[in-house]
Amino acid sequence: MYHSPTNDILIFATEDGVKLLAQSNCWCGDGTFKIVPSWYQQLFTLHERSAHV
């Protein structure tokens, strides 16, 4: 978890997930505003596309 005290950004990731993102040449992202709790402004997710899946 990473928390930026100046920008109020929370980042959650596993070490394996970060390694997969680093090795991938194709990332997909998606963001939403409507279905997050009121104390969040936006939820944004990153995904990688693996050839073995």
Q: Tens-digit pLDDT profile for the chain (53 aa)?
A: 666 677 777 778 899 988 988 988 888 888 877 776 776 677 788 888 876 65
Residues belonging to the chain: 53
- One-letter identity of residue 41: Q
| pLDDT at 20 (0 to 100) | 87
Answer whether 45's CB lies under 8 Å from 29's CB.
yes
What is the distance between the alpha carbons of residues 19 and 12, in angstroms, rounded to a whole number? 14
Q: Is 47 exposed, middle or buried (0-12, 13-18, 19+ CB in 10 A)?
A: middle
Question: pTM for this structure?
Answer: 0.59
For CA atoms 19, 22, 25, 27, the dihedral sign is: positive
